[in-house]
Amino acid sequence: MTVRELMDKYVRLLRRAGIKSPRADVEWLASDVFKCSRSELALHGHKMPTREQVDRMRKNIKRRLDREPLQHILGIGDFYGYEFRVSSAVLIPRPETETLAELALGFLHPLPAPVAFDLGTGSGCIAITLAKRCPGVKVIASDVSESALNLAKLNAETLDAIEQVEFREADGLPALAEGEQVDLIVSNPPYIPSGDIAGLQPEVRHYDPHLALDGGEDGLQFHRLLAAEGQSRLKPGGKLMAEFGDGQESAIEGLFAQAAWASVKITNDLTGRPRIVIASAGQ
């Protein structure tokens, strides 16, 4: 069987199993096995794979059939054009969170020597992207999970951002010292209502850490704290930017309205769904 025939066979298998993007998944897994880019795979199509390559491909496909996310099989997730190591200790970076990073960068860029705080950094994807794209920024990145923080540090080293990011193991806003104020608080906190987790797709519910998903009974446990206490941790004119889930927009607006921020704005993600709250502290 040629490489192309092998790949076609696995595309059919994944499709029959109900996996959403079978062709793309097989191409990613094959490019890992054949050590080439996805576009170069066409050059290998007519070749006969070695026994070892067939075995590796079969193992990768088996993991995907067990609904293990592609990023876990490859060990890597892409975010903002950078490759982040991922594991079951961290949420796989999502494209919607790139919008959050982009908004954060837009705010930080004009500031002289800004300080940002990434609450619940996970893989470090937001914190490290800010460091890479805004060379003058200093980022404080916290997580309650030691294993997440270890992976985030590794990512910061690999991506050469370790000098700009300070990692702190802590739960929420207390990661900042008493009286310490920053220009920006950015966060993709857990926001899935506890009762909804069992209904998520298997890739998410079995492989993303529940610690990174579960936002309490209504999913808003972290936003409630951010709305109430975030402002005291910001410098005058500072901003808080946080991601939230489907259908949470009006509850989020309510929470931030109660806490008397100078202004509150909701922004959509790339699919046009309300996804990010931007709250500004007074001057």
Q: How far apart are CA 35 and CA 65, in angstroms?
A: 22
CB of 130 to ligand GLN, least distance (A): 17
Instruction: Single out the residue of 167, 191, 207, 256 in contact with ligand GLN (rule: CB under 6 A).
Output: 191
Which residue number, 22 or 245, has a Cβ lying nearer to ligand GLN? 245
* DSSP assignment string, 113-181: S-EEEEES-TTTHHHHHHHHH-TT-EEEEEES-HHHHHHHHHHHHHTT-TTTEEEEE-SSGGGSPTT--
Contact 170, 142 (CB under 8 A): yes
Give the Cα separation of 204 and 198 in Å (integer): 10
Task: Choose one: 25-33, 63-71, 188-196, 253-261; the region binding ligand GLN (CB under 6 A).
Answer: 188-196
Asked if 190 interacts with ligand GLN (CB under 6 A), we say yes
- Residue 193: count other Cβ atoms within 10 Å of its Cβ: 18
Angle at 67 between CA 64 and CA 73, to 5 degrees: 45
One of 36, 65, 197, 204 touching ligand GLN (CB under 6 A): 204
CB of 163 to ligand GLN, least distance (A): 28
Minimal distance, residue 96 CB to ligand GLN, in Å = 6
213 touches ligand GLN (CB under 6 A): yes
CB of 200 to ligand GLN, least distance (A): 6
Cα angle for residues 126, 130, 135 (degrees, 5° grid): 160
| Residue 170: half-sphere exposure toward Cβ, Cα within 13 Å | 15
Show the site string, 240-269: x = touches ligand GLN by CB under 6 A, - = not. Answer: ---x--------------------------
Minimum distance from residue 212 beta carbon to ligand GLN (Å): 6
Q: 88 to 107, contacts with ligand GLN by CB under 6 A?
A: 91, 94
Q: Which residues bind ligand GLN (CB under 6 A)?
A: 91, 94, 188-192, 204, 213, 243
